[in-house]
Amino acid sequence: MEQLPHPSCNICGFFFFPFAEKGIDLKDRSVIELGAGTGLLGIVVTLLEHCIPHAVLWDMAVGVSHVLLSPSGAHVTITDRAAALEFLESNVQANLPPELRPRAVVKELTWGKDLDNFTPGAFDFILGADIVYLEETFAELLQTLEHLCSERTVILLSCRIRYERDLKFLKMLRERFSVSEVHYDSSKDVHIYKAQRGSRRDDF
Ligand SMILES: C[S@@+](CC[C@H](N)C(=O)[O-])C[C@H]1O[C@@H](n2cnc3c(N)ncnc32)[C@H](O)[C@@H]1O
């Protein structure tokens, strides 16, 4: 393990609650992470084969190296802006065992830009941890979600609602997707929202 911060420094770890609660099988699912930062979330999702109980998943987020690995998890595209890619790529390389590295691709994705580099609707899950914070990016972030999302796609966004503008993003999201809150941690004040196209409200 190198370079990654402890997950208490960010809100990635909360993602594993909805996955675990629903018992989602990530085997061969296609997942994209937006605004990955250090890549912690995308790395852990690459390491997961099946979702297992909360305590184990939390341990995984705390100490990814302790997990028993299986080379049959998700295919994960881990993205961020160009400026973040070098650090992100080195984190991914340093924290995935060689047999799982082909399952994780690090790619530039600046919201709203060059979206043709990504096949429309190609992903089962779109994940974003703490990416709703810059109002000037809201329209581009929504455009990106719409491009990547198909009828079957589940979007999961973990957010800490810090400012009025963050609620504005949720309003914009609700205008385009069916949105529900799937987890709230009151001690950390972190919400996880699920969004899907149209009126779909599938249980993942
Ligand atoms: C608060 S950090 C969260 C990082 C990581 N997801 C985590 O939870 O630790 C926000 C991330 O969004 C990325 N970001 C901000 N604006 C962006 C944009 N317009 N396009 C793509 N990524 C962007 C930043 O580079 C940064 O990595």
* Band of residue 27 on the pLDDT scale cut at 50, 70, 90: confident
Does some domain include residue 49?
A: yes
137 CA closest ligand 1 atom index:
19
Q: Please classify residue 128 by burial: count the beta carbons closer than 10 Å to its beta carbon, then call 0-12 exposed, 13-18 middle and 19+ buried.
A: buried
Alpha carbons 69 and 79: distance in angstroms, whole number: 23
DSSP string, 79-100: EE-HHHHHHHHHHHHHHS-TTT
Distance 110 CA to ligand 1 centre (A): 9
Does some domain include residue 204?
A: no
What is the span of the domain harbouring residue 168?
A: 15-197
pLDDT digits (tens, 9 = 90+) for 73-131: 799 999 999 999 999 999 999 999 999 999 999 999 999 999 999 999 999 999 999 99
Does some domain include residue 4?
A: no
- 146-154 average pLDDT score: 97
Domains held by the chain: number: 1
Distance 35 CA to ligand 1 centre (A): 3
Does some domain include residue 84?
A: yes
* Band of residue 38 on the pLDDT scale cut at 50, 70, 90: very high
Alpha carbons 70 and 97: distance in angstroms, whole number: 10
Question: What is the reported pTM?
Answer: 0.85
Does some domain include residue 6?
A: no
**CATH number of the domain where residue 191 is located:** 3.40.50.150
How many Cβ atoms from other residues are within 10 Å of residue 5's Cβ? 11
pLDDT at position 88 is 98
Distance 88 CA to ligand 1 centre (A): 11
Does some domain include residue 5?
A: no
> Residue 179: beta bridge partners?
195
Q: Which two tokens stand for residue 140?
A: 């581009």
For ligand 1, which residues put their CB under 6 angstroms from it? 10-12, 35-38, 80-81, 84, 109-111, 129-131, 134, 137, 140
